[in-house]
Amino acid sequence: MLSSTMPIRVAVMCEKCERIYLLAHPDSAKRIQFTHGSDPHPRYRLTCICKVERDFDRAQTFPYRVSEHICTRGYADREEYDPLPNQKFSVTRRNPQ
């Protein structure tokens, strides 16, 4: 568990490798693209470094506690973040297989 004094950032997770990408980081624009669709909610596509693509919307982004280093880097691997409970959804980390 990371320190409770560390920053909290909103991110989207790759469902395969569990890497998270911070939405407010400038480098995330290379991996997160807006997709046009007929849905009333904006949709985005994450292209992870592991080559998996995932479509998501705002409801599928969650808060995570991360270190200052992660804030600077823009992404975090599995053991480098703590998911935080969301008001609408509970965030849990999958168990490694």
Q: What is the pLDDT of residues 62-84, one digit of tens each?
A: 999 999 999 999 999 999 999 99
What pLDDT, on a 0 to 100 scale, did the predictor assign at position 35?
86
Task: Considering only residues 16 and 1, tell me which one the structure prediction assigns the higher pLDDT.
Answer: 16
pTM check: above 0.85:
no
SS3 label, residue 13: strand
Q: How far apart are CA 47 and CA 32, in angstroms?
A: 7
Positive or negative torsion for Cα 9, 63, 84, 76: negative
What pLDDT, on a 0 to 100 scale, did the predictor assign at position 91?
46
